Copies of this chain bind each other. A is one copy, B any other.
Amino acid sequence: MNNENRYEAQATQVLQYLRGLQDRLCNTFGGASMGGEFLRDAWERPASETSLQGGGITAVQEGGEVFERAGVAFSDVRGSKLPPSATARNPQLAGRGFRAMGVSVVMHPRNPHAPTSHANVRFFSAGDVWWFGGGFDLTPYIPYEEDVIAWHRAARDACDGVSQNIYPVARKHCDDYFFLKHRGEARGIGGVFYDDVNESSADMPLTWEQGFALMQRVGDAYHDAYRDVIARRRNTPSTERERNYQLYRRGRYVEFNLVFDRGTLFGLQSGGRTEAILMSMPAEARWAYRSPDAQMDAALLPYLTTLRGKDWLG
């Protein structure tokens, strides 16, 4: 098999995993048991000089009983010229052709006891240069230590199945990345995150086979861990006060995504499909000059500040 064919075969393997993951997530988090369906919006875009070529399926659920808004987006795009935001760490790639595939997930439950979650797995190829990226993180509004521990355990187990060198690095990346500098707060309680990973990565070098195995373990672990959190919290009785606080804290989620998130900025810069990129936005968010609830802040904020980086599995 020559190199071109090998790249193609690898991409096909990744493609199959990603499409299967999207289906599984839509089946688990949509349907009768969730009181809401994911609507699939398939799209395709022909080649042009100025934009990406490719296609995808954006699955969105809005107004469900369990999920107010949730999105599971699969995309597979090719471009003739990498945009600057994609090459910040790899300036030698600026201007090259590329192919990028991924599944990106954000789920905003209605119940304030149920945390918002995010996951992303992606594969990037620009000829002989390739990398994997991905991870998942959890954003509670009313924190439960049981959920925090289970989430980090799922993250560690997913990584350890490939190599024990991964988790400490990917955990720290997650804590560092999902951080709102202007607030001095983490977005949530963390998880794992890694990007631009290949054989020559400084802190977690992986072969292609390891990178693909990690993608699968991360995608699968997210599916199972979040399914379990939702099962525990979806029916917890909640008050209007808790709901108000949740909507206020969702303003922070919006701030992170629009100010800091590399994926969002890459998408908006590269002429991506705006509604698919912004499916990460909550259905509703609020802002106020002062927090509406000092008591609920007192329960949540330690998880986002002093406990950030804590070893929950020790």
Question: How many residues of chain A have a CB within 8 Å of chain B?
Answer: 31
Residue numbers in B under 8 Å from A100 (CB-CB) = none
Max count, chain B CB within 10 A of own CB: residue among A60, A181, A275, A282 = A275
Partner of A287 from the list B251, B281, B289 (CB cut-off 8 Å) is B281
A1-54 CB contacts (< 8 Å) to partner B: 41
Whether B268 contacts A289 by the Cβ 8 Å rule is no
CB of A113 within 8 A of chain B? no
CB of A171 within 8 A of chain B? no
Whether A283 contacts B279 by the Cβ 8 Å rule is no
Residue numbers in B under 8 Å from A183 (CB-CB) = 274
CB of A254 within 8 A of chain B? yes
Whether A284 contacts B286 by the Cβ 8 Å rule is yes
With contacts A268-B259, A285-B284 known, is A275 near B290, CB below 8 A?
A: yes
Residue numbers in B under 8 Å from A255 (CB-CB) = 258, 278
Whether A268 contacts B60 by the Cβ 8 Å rule is no
Residue numbers in B under 8 Å from A258 (CB-CB) = 254-255, 258-259
CB of A182 within 8 A of chain B? yes
Whether B268 contacts A279 by the Cβ 8 Å rule is no
Q: Mark A228-270, 1 if CB is under 8 A from B, else 0.
A: 0000000000000000000100010011001100000000100
CB of A62 within 8 A of chain B? yes
Residue numbers in B under 8 Å from A251 (CB-CB) = 281
Residue numbers in B under 8 Å from A268 (CB-CB) = 181-182, 259
Name the residue of chain B whose CB is nearest to the CB of A273: B182
Residue numbers in B under 8 Å from A281 (CB-CB) = 251, 287
Residue numbers in B under 8 Å from A286 (CB-CB) = 283-285
Q: Within the assembled complex, what's the spacing in Å between the Cα atoms of A255 and B278? A: 10
Determine how close the nearest CB of chain B comes to the CB of A286; give it in whole angstroms.
5
Residue numbers in B under 8 Å from A41 (CB-CB) = 289
CB of A288 within 8 A of chain B? yes
Whether B283 contacts A278 by the Cβ 8 Å rule is no
Partner of A283 from the list B71, B277, B287 (CB cut-off 8 Å) is B287
Residue numbers in B under 8 Å from A283 (CB-CB) = 286-288
Q: Mark A76-103, 1 if CB is under 8 A from B, else 0.
A: 0000000000000000000000000000
Partner of A284 from the list B275, B277, B284 (CB cut-off 8 Å) is B284
A279-305 CB contacts (< 8 Å) to partner B: 279, 281-290
CB of A217 within 8 A of chain B? no
Residues of A within 8 A of B (CB): 41, 58, 60, 62, 69, 71, 181-183, 247, 251, 254-255, 258-259, 268, 274-275, 277-279, 281-290
Q: What are 18 A-B pairs at a CB distance below 8 A?
A: A41-B289, A58-B289, A62-B289, A69-B287, A71-B289, A182-B268, A182-B274, A182-B277, A247-B284, A251-B281, A254-B258, A259-B259, A275-B289, A275-B290, A278-B287, A283-B286, A283-B288, A285-B285
